[in-house]
Structure formats: structure tokens, C-alpha cells
Chains A and B, each alone.
Chain A
Amino acid sequence: MDQAELLKRCREGDELAWEALVREQQGRVCAIAYGYVGEQDEAQDLAQEIFVRMYRHLETCTDPLKFPAWLASIARNACLDHLRRRKARPPRQDIPAEEMTQLASTQPDPHEQWLRSSRQKLVHRAVQGLSEINREIIILKDIQGLPLEEIARMLDLPLGTVKSRSSRARVELAQSITALGAGMGTEGAV
């Protein structure tokens, strides 16, 4: 489907075009949300909110070639807003002490149904353990494949900084995977 034509129809209010766009991009949007929040159910709700924001701001995407970066930018802003709200409003109920050990467990999460292999689950878990800026760079560059110039613009960092941080982020991720893999006794998977 021609992206430019699809976007034009969506901006004109064509519901069928919008549905096609949602179907085409839902996997990517959910993946971005999942990368930022780490929880499947939370990511799905957040992905819905991202699509609603896209719907409201469709007229701001005038260049179809920049659509992936535009979509990633909207998704990123929604994810950061969500994370800020989550940080400002801690959970309402207290978690009993005996459940805290379960939260800290390194056992596989039965709700990681979006991830196909144990290796993917290991990578996803390691990504969640990265620092905020490194996680963003991994999500935007290595996972979503955005160009460095767009990432630098989104993160408001110099291009050279993004390049060097990208390299270090991969090494940090690899070290984290090595440590997690050793901790879970799954060196074979690594």
C-alpha cells in the first residue's frame, strides 16, 4: 500500500484508510511501547493512547518519507509522559512483603507472550535494565532502525554523542545479557 496515499486519505478522514494504517503499524507501535514500559498489558493500553494521539495530529505529518520518525516521536513522547505519571503516582495498594521476592525473581515471566524465544526474552529483560538514555537509543536505533540524525533530533543531543552512546549502549546491553544469562543458568541460550 502506498504510504503517501494512505496518509493523505487518513488526513482527509477516510475511516478505511485509518483502519489500514492501524493494522499496518500496530506491531511497531506496540513494540515501541513495550520497550519503554516493559509490561505487556501496560504497553497495549499505552499503544492505544499513542494511536489516539496520532489520529489527533495526523495533519502534522506532511512528509510521508518521515512517517516512521514522526510515528516514533509521537510514541516516544506518549511513553515518556506515561512513565512520568507512573513515577509521580506510586501504586495505590501496598505490595505484601512475601510478594516482593516474587517480583525480584529471575524466573521467566509467563506474560511475555509477545516474545517468541527465550533469547528474545533475555534481550528484552536486559534492555529494561539499561539506563534511561541507553534504553532509548537501543529502542530507537537498534530495534526500530531510525537514522542517527532523527534520533539526535528527538533526544536533543549532538549527532556525535548519539553515535558514541549507541556503541557504548550495545556493549552495556551485551554485558547485561551475559550477566543475566549466567544468573538464569541459560548460558546455552546465550
Chain B
Amino acid sequence: MSRDRDHAPQDPARRERFVQDVLARTSGTGCARALDMLPDLAEAGLADLDRRLVQTHLEHCASCRAVAVVLGWLGPELAGLAVVDPGPAFTARVLTATSRRAAMEKERRRLTGGAGLMDRLGRWWAGQIVRPYFPLQAAYAATVILVLLTAGPWAPWRDLPGQALQAVQAGPGTPSLLGQAVDQTAGWAADRVGGVVGSGMARVQDRWRQAENGLGERAARTADERGDLRVHLQALAGSAEQGKLEQAGFELMAVGKALRGIWHDWWFADEGIPVP
């Protein structure tokens, strides 16, 4: 031991370099261990030996010492971030938002029967369309439904793709595609499921006609979005015809986004609720 002490460097800087060299060749520096124990050191939660070991390390390690200094004052500074002052107008804005919400809820509670159901359905839908992956999921679901309705000899709308392609290529002024689809579905249901469902579908047809006639104002509000929808449907038809599946996929997502915009303007534009 005394021979080792005789040969150890006397100059403090050289002594420190000697220690670092030995540590580099053996266990490595103790910084990771010291950093792990610093929070307990700051809170006086270390056993006596551990405390002395960490303090010895800090005497010789500037970077760990800097971290220990910060940990010493960090607690009160973090606690000081617990409350901020948003300014005098904040409370008024919150109360306005919540009283508007309260009035809407009161109005909604008065709705019963079909109107109440439509209101709940509308609110559920509004919650769905703000989800980040909604366009992708809606495009996927729409593709599956379209395939089920148009593919195969038993599908009720198997003639519709050809008619739709002719309609979009012809441009504006063509008859309502959805009206044609409703007619075809009514005929399909009447053929396959019998008189009861057929007459039910006939009632659906009548309701649809009534709805179409009463849709003037909402149709005007959604004219721009429907124009976009028509453009994307034409592009989708063109891409599908040319076998450009990737492009068709993008156009299908754009169709989903246009449908979302139409839905919003149809139901919510007059309530002043912005597009999510």
C-alpha cells in the first residue's frame, strides 16, 4: 500500500487524470450511479455511506455537480408552475362557452322521438368525424360496402357502377344517383324479400322524394363541397378505369374528406360550429 502511495501522482490535476484513466480501464465512471442517487441526496433520503460516496463523486465531477445544483432549486420552481394567470377575460370566455353548452343541452333534452334520435345520431357522428383516422376508416368502410353492393351476381347495385361512370362523365345536370340507387334497392328488396319489405322500401322511396324536395337551403349551403365531391368522384372513376389503384385510393380518401365537409355544412353550419 505505502509503495503505491509513494508512486501516485502528487499534482491534483495529474492525480485526477490518473483516477480517470484507472476508471476508464476498469468499471467506468460512476456518473450514472451518482445521477441515479442525486434525487435522494437532494431529499436527504440516502444512507450515510451512499451520501458520502455521492458527495465524493460530486467533488470531482463538474457535470454531475451542475445537475445536483439544479436539483437543489428545481422543486420550488416546478411547484411555481402549478398555477398561471390566464388574464381577466378568460373566466368570461369559459362562462360564455359553458352557458351556450347548457342552453344547447336544454334544447336537446326537449327533443323526443325521431327528432331526438336524429339529434343523438348527429352528435355521435360529429364525435366520430373529428377522430384523426376517420377519413381512412371511412374510405375503407365505404370500399367494403361498395364492393358488397356492386360485386357479384346477387348484389342489388351491380348495374350502378356503369351508370355512375356514364353520369359523372356526362357532368352536372344528370339525375340523382342516390335516387336511382334507392329505386334499384327497392326493386331488389321487393323481388327477394316479399311484399312487406317491398312496401317498406316504397315508403322509403316516398320519404326520399319528400326529403329531396325540401332540401333547397341545405343543398345551396353544400354546393361548393358537392362540386368538390363530383370532381373527386370523376377522378376516382377515371383512375379505377385506368387501373391506377394508388391514385384511386387517394381520390377515395379525398371523397371521404369532401363527404365530411358536406356533412358538417349540412347539419352544423348554421350553428356557427367551425369545421373540426
Contacts and interface: CB of A to CB of B under 8 A. Distances in A.
Given A19-B95, A48-B93, A171 B79 contact: no
Contact of B132 (A19, A34, A89): A89
A49 B67 CA distance: 37
A8 interface: no
Interface string B175-194: 00000000000000000000
B86 A47 contact: yes
B39 A170 contact: yes
Report whether over half of chain A's contact residues are helix, strand or loop; otherwise say mixed: helix
Interface stretch (A59-67, A103-111, A141-149, A152-160): A141-149
Contact of B81 (A26, A143, A175): A143
Interface residues of B, number: 38
A174 interface: yes
Contacts of B102: 13, 55
Interface in B30-66: 35-36, 38-40, 63, 66
Contacts of A119: 73, 77
Interface residues of A, number: 48
B97 A26 contact: no
Interface string B64-98: 00110111011101111111111000110111011
Contact of A120 (B69, B75, B77, B130): B77
Contacts of A170: 39, 71, 74
A85 B86 contact: no
B101 interface: yes
B99 interface: yes
Given A51-B98, A55-B101, A171 B86 contact: no
A73 to B, nearest CB: 16
A47 B90 contact: yes
A67 to B, nearest CB: 15
Given A48-B93, A48-B97, A84-B132, A120 B80 contact: yes
A22 B36 contact: no
A162 interface: no
Contacts of B63: 178
28 contacts: A15-B95, A19-B95, A26-B86, A26-B94, A27-B83, A35-B81, A48-B90, A48-B93, A48-B94, A51-B97, A51-B98, A52-B97, A52-B98, A87-B132, A114-B86, A115-B81, A115-B84, A116-B80, A123-B77, A142-B78, A143-B78, A143-B82, A167-B39, A168-B36, A174-B38, A174-B71, A174-B74, A178-B63
